[in-house]
Amino acid sequence: MKQVENISGGTNFTAITVGNLSELSNYVLTLSPEVHIPGKVFLGGALNTTGAEISLQSFAVGSQTGFLHKHKNHEEIYLFIAGKGEFQVDGEIFTVGEGSLVRVAPEGIRSVRNTGDVELVMLCIQYTANSFTAEDAADGDILADEVKW
């Protein structure tokens, strides 16, 4: 089973790699002794995130999530990196592919499947719904320091 590797880190950052996205299928997420999800890896712990969870997942040709799910508090954004598939939210089914983004509220009942002829790859960002404020939107400060490489 493939493992996330550290690249670098410091007081204010963490850098990791999952390797080539074409090798995502080598990861296996174990939720319980009976539930193993091939091609999925959570990254928040390795990145030391404090406000969101991030995962990558690949779906082999013809595969699917295999279950419907929803959340109590977490909204999710799905970014499709490669392939073609279908996404289902609350019974509505629509096509997704490279470059598609989908936001789902916590209560949205969702699932994904690969309908293409290559691996379907997606990035999912999970965070607490309704937590971003107007103050957050103005949080960044541009510094006058010169960028030196």
Confidence check: pLDDT of 124 > 80: yes
Quickly tell me which residue has 């299928």 as its tokens: 25
Phi-psi region at 94: left, alpha or beta (left = phi > 0; alpha = psi -120 to 50): beta
Indicate the domain borders of the chain: 40-130
Q: Class of the 40-130 domain?
A: mainly beta
Compute the mean pLDDT over every residue in the chain, rounded to the nearest whole number. 94
pTM score? 0.90
- What does the pLDDT read at residue 36? 85
16-73 pLDDT, tens digit per residue, is: 999 999 899 999 988 888 888 889 999 999 999 999 999 999 999 999 998 999 999 9
Confidence check: pLDDT of 1 > 80: no
